[in-house]
Amino acid sequence: MTSSPHKGKTGLRRLINAVGYSLNGLRCAFRYEDAFRQEVALAFVLVPAAFVVHVNAVERALLLASVFLVLIVELLNTAVEAAVDRISFEDHELAKRAKDIGSAAVMLSLLCTAVVWAIVLGN
């Protein structure tokens, strides 16, 4: 198996590069993806709200984790969509399936967030 030519860095240089790539990925998602911007806006409301409501530390962690889960799943969905589109814009059953499954994952993460918040705040 041949390794990627992009995997040559090690140590601190690798860590610095990884942080840079990650920040670039966040910038790209925010710039080009409407859904990500909407979910970031939701996070800007829910993250502070998680610190305002009177809950214990574990419940607060659940509230926050559920919000960040949505952002993480949206980033993965965006990556899948970009990879599929890189291959071809042509309509194809497998491309549609990949995009629909990614969309379903985002929907389930949003549902998970709603359920977690309802349960925690309902107690």
For residue 109, is it within any domain?
A: yes
Q: Give the per-residue pLDDT at 10.
A: 81
Give Cβ neighbours of residue 75 (< 8 Å, ≥ 6 apart).
25, 26, 29, 36
> Does any domain span residue 17?
no
Q: Tell me the C-alpha distance between 86 and 78, whole Å.
A: 12
Expressed in angstroms, the distance from the first to the final Cα of the chain is 54
- How many angstroms separate the CA atoms of 111 and 117, rounded? 10
> What residues make up the domain containing 95?
34-122
Asked if the structure places residue 15 within a domain, the reply is no
Split into its structural domains, the chain has a count of 1
Select which of 74, 81, 90, 93 is catalytic: 74
Position 65 in a domain? yes
Q: What is the pLDDT of residue 29?
A: 97
Res 9: pLDDT? 77
Answer whether 65's CB lies under 8 Å from 109's CB: no
Q: Has residue 42 been placed in a domain?
A: yes
Angle between helices 93-122 and 34-52 (to 10 degrees): 10
**What CATH number does residue 110 fall under?**
1.10.287.3610
User: Within a domain: residue 5?
Assistant: no
How far is Cα 90 from Cα 83, in angstroms, rounded to an integer?
A: 13
Q: With contact defined as beta carbons under 8 Å apart, do 66 and 116 qualify? A: yes
CA-to-CA distance for 108 and 123, rounded, in angstroms?
Answer: 23
Going through 45-84 in order, the beta strands assigned E by DSSP cover none
Domain assignment of residue 112, yes or no: yes
56 in any annotated domain: yes
Least confident range of 10-14, 26-30, 35-39, 70-74: 10-14
Residue 1's pLDDT band, with cuts at 50, 70 and 90, is low
- Is 74 assigned a catalytic role? yes
- The string of pLDDT tens digits covering residues 88-123 is 989 999 999 999 999 999 999 999 999 999 999 998
Residues 41-62, mean pLDDT to the nearest whole number:
98
Instruction: Give per-residue pLDDT as tens, 63-91.
Output: 999 999 999 999 999 999 999 999 998 99
